[in-house]
Homo-oligomer: A and B are copies of this chain.
Amino acid sequence: MSEPAANRQVLIDSLPEDKLTIENYRVATAPVPSPGPDQVLCRTLVLTIGAGTRAGLQGSASYAGAPKTNVVMNGSAVSRVVESTSDRFKPGDLVACPAGWQDYSVHPATGLTRVDDDVDPAHYLGALGTNGLTAYFGLLDLADPAPGKTVLVSAAAGSVGHMVGQIAHIKGARTVGITSTEQKCQLLTDRIGFDAAVSYRSPDFRNELKAACPDGVDIYFDNTGGDILGTALRRMNEHGRIICCGVVSQYDTSNPAAAPTGIPGLLVNKRIRMEGFLVFDYAARYEAARAEIKGWITSGKLNPLNDEFDGLEQAPAAFVDLLAGGNVGTRIIRVAT
């Protein structure tokens, strides 16, 4: 493989004051870095973008720390090893790495996870990556989906949400998805196997949700917060569980709204448990979880969806579209093959 000439990078040009736009980013070119001792130079193949990344541009409210400009936008990738000074990796190996939005990145060998080349590498950013693991641990560790229970999921067509619905279905629960459009509702029931789906943009959302959950909701997997959480809260059964995974309704604004009324009052009256989690706490169990999810994919029980943009320079547009609710499944940027 000949030495690459230059490293295209997408930098954070400015911090969004309200809605994120593609003008908050700029494309630049830098020299391709060289690996130091025990480091690995990686060529980005596929990148993913999750809505949670938006919180990183919001400062102290996020677990990611204060935001900076003129740095490469962060993002997870599957990359191919180009050059390695570590015994652990050789050129051609595939690795999961925090590449960021750029063609090439250098990492300590200890920071890399080898991935198999038996499936589309994009799956390692979706069903087998952080998003799939988030769905898996959030749903199965914080609640107990089972036959007879109703599991409600918001952002149900999203990367985490569409996995939650399918895992709940595998466990025998009735599954109801909340999403943004009629078209996505159809996709959830026809292609993802949800038992019912409702658009929160419908003028009759509350009643439609009620009709879709005739036995109430036992487990609500909340990816949105805000008004959708408030509406779901009123459908919860006694002793229900609310799994707090993300707050996508609040990411793309500099002025987060108040939480819905009914907290904590309805939590008391209905004896509801509401619990937040971060997937990183489960790192020691990632491998076992990946093996189980891969088994579901191989046996055809689980059908992960990837939603692709082509070319590194499309990453800002793909992110803006994602925040507007445009995605289905895991948003993937194909950077190279």
- The answer, yes or no, to whether A245 is at the interface (CB within 8 Å) is yes
Interface check A246, CB cutoff 8 A? yes
* Residues 28-72 of chain A, each 1 if its beta carbon lies under 8 Å from chain B, else 0: 000000000000000000000000000100000111000000000
Provide the residues of chain B in CB contact with A63, threshold 8 Å. 269
* Separation of A63 and B267 alpha carbons in the complex (Å): 11
Chain B residues whose C-beta falls within 8 Å of the C-beta of A268 in the assembled complex: 244-247, 276-278
A271 within 8 A of B: yes
- How many copies altogether? 2
Q: Per a CB cutoff under 8 Å, which of B55, B265, B277 touches A225? A: B265
- Number of A interface residues, CB 8 Å? 37
Contact in complex: A271, B261 (CB < 8 Å): no
Q: Which residue of B lies closest to A278 (CB)?
A: B271
Could you tell me the distance between the alpha carbons of A256 and B230 in the complex, rounded to whole angstroms? 14
| Selected A-B contacts with CB under 8 Å, 22 pairs | A55-B265, A63-B269, A225-B263, A229-B264, A244-B264, A250-B265, A256-B261, A258-B258, A258-B261, A259-B260, A259-B264, A264-B274, A267-B275, A268-B277, A269-B278, A270-B276, A271-B276, A271-B277, A272-B276, A273-B274, A273-B276, A274-B275
Which residues of chain A have a CB within 8 Å of any CB of chain B?
55, 61-63, 222, 225, 229, 242, 244-247, 250, 256-278, 281
